[in-house]
Structure 1
Amino acid sequence: MSELVWGTPSELRSLLCELVSWDSRTLTDGERAFAPKVADKLKELDYFKSHPDQLALHDAGLGRHAVTALYKQPDATETIVLISHFDTVWTEEYGTLEPYAFHPEELTKKLMDYKSELPDDARADLESGNYLFGRGTMDMKMGLALHMALIEKASVESWPINLILLTVPDEEVNSTGMRTAVKELVLLRDEHALQYKLFLNGEPTFSQEPGDPKEYVYSGTIGKIMPAALFYGKETHVGEPMKGITANYIASFLTQQMEWNNLFEETSHGETTPLPVSLQQKDLKSEYSAQTPYRAAALYNVFLMNRSAAEIMDLFELTALRSMSDCNAAYRQICDREGVDVVGDIRVMRYEQLLVYAEEKLGTEEINRLKKETTENTDWDDREKSFQIVDSLMIRCQELAPATILLYAPPYYPAVNTSDDPLVTKTIELMKKTAASLGTKVEQIHYFNGICDLSYVHYKDEAYGWTAFERNTPVWGETYSIPFPEMAELNAPVLNVGPFGKDAHQRTERLHIESAFVRLPVMLETLVKSMMD
């Protein structure tokens, strides 16, 4: 039997520090280089030396790749998919310590010289010696390291179950990596006659509130969707303000009704979604002038538990109709006071309605040209491209103004929950008992309270509510898409078991050493072996 190379806490810690040292900030050369490095690391294992065809890179666009590594036991069909992401957020907040951000051992030592600048809880954790600091230590290269060690041990000890290690880029922005990987998982299943038993993510445990010391396992993940609006008013000179209506004025009514609107709040399994807020509101003037801003855009964040894209669009439209009714009433009152005629009542339209109107007026060929012109602009992200497509259509259909056009902007993370699945219920109880035997306590949370790639498996939507997202997302099929049919095929339950850490996306991001290198390897091995019966 081969010796394990990642079998001890110190070896696992060395692996983590190596993975963290590979700077893989989203949309950088480091992110593009990371997947081949992971593949090369896995090629060092005897199993993948003998089975090189079971280790693959999958194109995720922009030079990035997802990695799949299949440990296949000849007589087994049941398979656990181990999911992680390797991109990280950026590091400007480290300031003078930024050169150390990807070197956990050095950063942790160096922080001792700056501990007076740290928040009290971070300083206490640093002085305790129980934490390892650094970008990606917690979120989430430790999850990847644990999965690499797990698949190594399974292959060396010939466990009678199949494991697929899947690690992806771009979770932090658009989850392009996971959306790409969905189809690959379907292909792997069919090619090797696999039966997916569990999708197991390794995202870290997040505190539920400041100072929360508890560790958790998650039996689902919260969803996120982004309703947006393009507001089109009527331009005028600032010296004649009542001859027009600014888009900013119109936008203010919808934003006030969207912010903290409990109409969008959901409660499931005793847990409640955060309230919606605006993520962006801006006018589309590109330069200063005395012309009033007559086009504006706003983007809103809505969390989901059970609702579909269709249901959210219905609620968004209802909110828009109410807010535009208020806007029309307030605007008419001002016009009456000033003794002038109104420019017009503000209509509310969905993007899909605008598109039908524009195609009848301009023709499909012209619409396709406008879309292509926008989507090929590399200076804009998918959100800006969405607004620009709607804007270009409204400029050519100004007879519809004043108007508020409702749309969706990427990304969309469907909510997933398998808390009631018997396998999940049994496994969570096992994790609680195992953690107790290791001297700690683990509790269940039904929805992971950070966005995660589990959103793209176990998709349930019998009413095809996702089509409302497709029809109202201007960049759909061009620069953004979601493989909903394939997601529905990946119908095994989901679970997230990861290490304890604190302050993800902050300069004090840190990983609990004993949780990561001592407890989690035992817990994950126990979990997998429980499914080998």
Structure 2
Amino acid sequence: MDQTSNSGPDERHFDIAQHWAMELTRRRSVTGTSGEVDFAEWLAHRLMESDCFGIRRDVWTFPVADGDARQCVAMLLRRGGRRTVILTGHYDTVSIDDYGDLSDLATEPQELAVAMRQRLANPTTAAAQRAESDLAANAFLPGRGLLDMKAGLAAGLSAIAALATEASGSGNVLFIAVPDEENGSAGARRAAQLLPEIALRHDLDIAAVINLDAIADDQEGHDGRVIALGTVGKLLPTALVIGTPAHSGFPFNGINAGALAAVIAARVEWAEELTETLSTGAGAPPSLLSLRDGKTSYDVTTPATAFAYFNVLTYRRTPIEVLTRFDALCAEALAQALGELRARAVGIAGTKDAPLLPGSIPIYNYEDVAAAARKRQPGNDTLMTEKARTLATQHLSLPESCRLMTEHAWRLSGLAGPAVVTGFGSVPYLSTQLSSRDNARHLRTVAVRAARHSEARYGCVVRCVDYFAGISDMSFFGEADESNLNVVGRNTPLWEQVVRWPGSDGIANVPTINIGPWGRDYHTPLERLHTGYAFDILPRLLADVVSDVLNG
């Protein structure tokens, strides 16, 4: 693009980005609903009939999986040659139910802004005060999915519209909008897997991927106006605790699985051992996402099992490192709990009558328990396969399915409790960084240069950061070491039936960065987008970066 661009607003960029952001937002696409299914056909039709993108474009859709009605939407803008940049993002959103009596307006940004200002007239929390101030200043617009992340898709479409009018430009732009990011990233995973086939069919050399996901910033945009050169990874370590149930009137006769799970949860929460230190400071610490026992009805027996799982973000640590550290934390928590229970029992019953507690509680990985079950009885392998297939059809959350499968394997194994079985309970998200390959080095150079000249060209400072702070589809497009997933696959109970990771080609392994809009409070009724950045600066920044990458 013209390196002498001034910092003033570009009305065409603004109008196109705003138009698409409003249109995309008004079309509801909550994850797991018919709106998500219908969105792809509607978007493909709108892209085909729009006059924004010139005549040199192809539009098509493809399913996320055989028999799955959800579709990815692709639009290829051809400008000559083979070199291609991908602009991608998700179109599904979280539910609108949290808007309550404003749910009818949840996807109507202008109308919602008026209603929200009335609702926030007397704010009672700091978050509500900030939202009221933002909306009163007309710097932000609310709406479910506007920030996360339909404004990002709209900015990408605005950039493509600008590139379509370039008289001297070369290279191609492939736009891909995907479903299911708010659940298991089925859309991005399918798109990443199919990229080699798409490139071959359309004779493309894919040089880079730019993800368009949103960034949250509670201040004035310093942390929102960024180009992220990589993304964090996410793992979901799980712990199934098997206790020895007892009548609650005679608790010394057993060991309470719920109490053991609680001490594990307390030890892992914010544990330094699972928090990575970055050059810019500490990363996000681990946090408990769920803790429940296995009881399905009320009685006075202590829980026989309990299940906990944790959000663990990774930057450079491998899954085996995370699992090893997690096991060590569980062992430490259990040892301390046994020591405290012994001391309490002696204090209550005296040395003579205190219960005999085990010296330690063993910790198994799921793969150890599954192997023990198969070894115990020849038919157990079939039983476990049948159980996994049944769970895969029951529309349960993946962590819940993993809990039930782990319990099933434990019963078949013949192993004795008390014990803890650790593993993983979700689709893994790998951390990505730009490598030393030519395309990656060039993408980094372009991104750094765009940030360096941002104040002069766009009137505000845009920074480069090493990692996108949220979980995103970058994990499936970007450069990562897929071999690290072996331990995850062996210890995720429904890996084959639900996760269905496609062997060694589950990620695209293309240099990938994130350049998206910023705002505040997404996934809440206060979700709102900074419109000046999203509709004016972001489309211009994207068009410049794409053009520079293509001209590399």
Q: TM-score, normalised by structure 2?
A: 0.88
In structure 2, relative to structure 1, the CA distance for the partners of 1:323 and 1:456 (3 Å cut) is same
Give the Å deviation of 1:188: 0.9
> Which one of the candidate residues 138, 143, 146 is aligned to 2:152?
143
Instruction: Report the alpha carbon displacement of residue 400 of structure 1 after superposing the two structures with TM.
Output: 2.4
Is the Cα contact below 8 Å between 2:362 and 2:420 reproduced in 1? yes
Structure 1 residue 148 displacement after superposition = 2.1
Q: Structure 2 vs 1, CA of residues 401 and 133 (structure 1 numbering), >3 Å: closer, same or farther?
A: same
Paired residue secondary structure (2:337): helix
1:428 — aligned with what? 448
2:387 is equivalent to residue 370 of structure 1: yes
Q: Given that residues 144 and 202 in structure 1 are in contact (C-alpha distance below 8 angstroms), is that contact kept between their aligned partners in structure 2?
A: yes
Go from structure 1 to structure 2 and tell me whether the alpha carbon gap of 1:150 and 1:439 turns closer, same or farther (over 3 Å shift). Answer: closer
1:347 corresponds to:
362
Amino acid paired to 1:433: H
What are the Cα deviations for residues 328-363 of structure 1, in whole angstroms up to 9, with x where unaligned? Answer: 433444555443333674211000000000111233
Rounded to whole Å, the distance in 2 between the matches of 1:23 and 1:95 is 16
**Residues 1:455 and 2:503 are matched in the alignment:** no
Aligned equivalent of 1:510, options 514, 528, 532: 528
1:401 equivalent in structure 2:
417
Alpha carbons of structure 1 residues 242 and 179: separation in structure 2 relative to 1, 3 Å:
same
Moved more, 491-500 or 129-138: 491-500
User: Aligned residue for 1:27?
Assistant: 32
Q: Secondary structure at the match of 2:394?
A: coil
Aligned pair partner of 1:384 in 400, 413, 417:
400
SS in 1 for 2:291: strand
Report 1:187-202 matches (<5 A).
Answer: 187-202=197-212
Paired AA for residue 395 in structure 1: R
Write out aligned runs for 1:212-231 (5 A): 213-214=222-223, 215-231=225-241
Q: Which residue does the alignment assign to 1:3?
A: none
- Taking the aligned partners of 2:488 and 2:222, their CA distance within structure 1 comes to 38
RMSD: 2.4
Indicate if the aligned counterparts of 1:459 and 1:487 stay in contact, CA closer than 8 A.
no
Matched-pair contact (CA < 8 Å) for 2:454–2:462:
no
CA drift at 1:494: 1.6
Deviation at residue 405 of structure 1 after TM alignment? 0.1
Which moved further from structure 2: 59-68 or 139-148?
59-68
Distance 1:480 1:267 in 2: 30
Report the alpha carbon displacement of residue 72 of structure 1 after superposing the two structures with TM. Answer: 3.1
The answer on 1:17 being equivalent to 2:22 is yes
Which moved further from structure 2: 502-511 or 107-116? 107-116
Which residue does the alignment assign to 1:476? 495
Aligned-partner residue type, residue 383 of structure 2: E
Report SS of the residue matched to 1:164.
Answer: strand
Structure 2 equivalent of residue 128 of structure 1? 137
Residue 211 to residue 42, structure 1, CA distance change in 2 (3 Å): closer
1:251 to 255, 261, 264: 261
Structure-2 separation of matches of 1:186 and 1:324: 48
Q: Distance in 2 between matches of 1:456 and 1:359?
A: 33
CA shift, 1:326, in A, is 2.5
| Conserved? CA contact 2:143–2:528, under 8 Å | yes
SS of structure 1 residue aligned to 2:74: strand
Structure 1 position 39, deviation (Å): 0.7
Give runs of aligned pairs for residues 253-272 of structure 1, distance below 5 A: 253-272=263-282
Q: Which of 22-31 and 186-195 deviates more?
A: 186-195
Cα 1:370/1:204, change in 2 over 3 Å:
closer
**Residue aligning to 2:371:** 356
**TM alignment of 1:299-318, pairs within 5 A:** 299-318=309-328
CA shift, 1:263, in A, is 0.8
SS in 1 for 2:160: helix
In the alignment, the residues of structure 2 paired with residue 43 and residue 23 of structure 1 have an alpha-carbon distance, to the nearest angstrom, of 20
436 and 509 in structure 1: CA distance in 2 versus 1, 3 angstrom threshold: farther
2:464 pairs with 1:444? yes
- In 2, the alpha carbon distance for the partners of 1:154 and 1:346 equals 63
How far, CA to CA, are the matches of 2:237 and 2:493 in structure 1?
Answer: 12
Q: Report what 2:87 is aligned to.
A: 82
The letter of the residue matching 1:372 is R
Deviation at 1:386, TM superposition (A): 0.2
Retained in 2: the 8 A contact 1:457–1:487? no
Which residue of structure 1 lines up, in the alignment, with residue 538 of structure 2? 520
> How far apart, CA to CA, are the structure 2 residues paired with 1:234 and 1:26?
40
Partner secondary structure for residue 198 of structure 1: strand
**Which residue among 478, 482, 486 is the counterpart of 2:505?**
486
CA contact (8 A) 1:308 1:461 kept: no
Structure 2 segments unaligned to the other structure (5+ residues): 1-10
Q: Shift of the alpha carbon at 1:62?
A: 4.5
Q: State the match for 1:412 in structure 2.
A: 428
Question: Is contact 2:17–2:157 with CA below 8 Å preserved after alignment?
Answer: no
For each residue in 1:177-200, what CA deviation from the matched residue of structure 2 results, as whole angstroms up to 9, or x when unmatched?
111211121211232332221110
Instruction: For 1:367, give the aligned amino acid.
Output: M
Provide closer, same or farther for how the CA distance between residues 211 and 242 of structure 1 changes in structure 2, counting only shifts above 3 A.
farther
Contact 1:345–1:402 (CA under 8 A) maintained in structure 2: no
Give the unaligned 5+ runs of structure 1.
1-5
In structure 2, give the amino acid aligned to 1:69: M
Measure the CA separation in 2 of the matches of 1:205 and 1:328.
44
Identity %: 27
CA separation of 1:269 and 1:288: change in aligned 2, threshold 3 A: same
Compute the displacement of 1:505 (Å): 1.5
The offset of 1:370, in angstroms, is 2.2
Q: Distance in 1 between matches of 2:362 and 2:344?
A: 19
Q: Match for residue 467 of structure 1?
A: 486
Q: Does 1:233 align with 2:243?
A: yes
Aligned to 2:287: 277
C-alpha distance in structure 2 between counterparts of 1:152 and 1:99, whole Å: 32
The two structures have a TM-score, normalised by structure 1, of 0.91
